[in-house]
């Protein structure tokens, strides 16, 4: 009986973190730099059919299990991007091929870079700063090198 209780107590933090995988764990807002403009830019390369985006994100909600951790999202194995208001906008923009984003709890602003690949990415990149997006980082290594999945909401 003691072994069962000890096992449950050891696994409880892992189970609560696994449950959080299905909800938004972090929320950011694109930084506003004036009326009608934000700290966001995108560049479209028609030859490679890639859109490079850069945005400054301001910290909003951070799940309590992540609030004190420094996270390097470049260690993620895979990234998926979805548009909450118009899911069809991602049609033709089939992959996030490169990304760079690091969360540091002591900072309020964070830079995020991503390269999107596909013929429909130009249209998506031009409108991304005015839409609520959801980024899913899969296989992110935490401080203990355990792979975790983190869902991030980015609001305009």
pLDDT digits (tens, 9 = 90+) for 58-102: 999 999 888 888 888 998 999 999 998 888 888 888 899 999 999
Report the run of H or E that residue 152 belongs to, with start and end. Answer: strand 147-155
pLDDT value at position 132? Answer: 93
Q: What is the pairing mode between strands 71-72 and 95-103?
A: antiparallel
Q: Spell out where 69-125 has E strands.
A: 71-72, 78-83, 95-103, 109-117
Domain ranges of the chain: 2-155
pTM of the model: 0.79
Rg (CA), the chain: 17
DSSP 21: G
All residues at 6 or more sequence positions from 74 whose CB lies less than 8 Å from its CB, including other chains: 99, 100, 101, 102
Q: Which residues of the chain have pLDDT under 50?
A: 4-22
pLDDT value at position 65? Answer: 85
Q: What is the pairing mode between strands 133-141 and 78-83?
A: antiparallel
> What size, in residues, is the chain?
156
């Amino acid at each position: 009986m003691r072994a069962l209780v000890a096992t449950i107590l050891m696994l409880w933090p892992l189970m609560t973190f696994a449950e959080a995988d299905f909800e938004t764990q972090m929320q950011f807002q694109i930084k506003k730099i004036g009326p009608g403009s934000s700290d966001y830019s995108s560049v479209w390369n028609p030859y490679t059919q890639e859109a490079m985006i850069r945005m400054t994100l301001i910290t909003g909600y951070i799940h309590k299990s992540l609030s004190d951790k420094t996270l390097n999202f470049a260690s993620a194995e895979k990234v998926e991007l979805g548009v909450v208001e118009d899911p069809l906008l991602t049609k033709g923009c089939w992959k996030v091929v490169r990304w760079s984003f690091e969360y540091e709890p002591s900072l309020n602003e964070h830079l995020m870079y991503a390269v999107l690949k596909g013929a429909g990415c130009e249209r998506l990149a031009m409108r991304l700063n005015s839409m609520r997006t959801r980024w899913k980082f899969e296989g992110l290594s935490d401080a203990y090198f355990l792979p975790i999945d983190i869902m991030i909401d980015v609001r305009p």
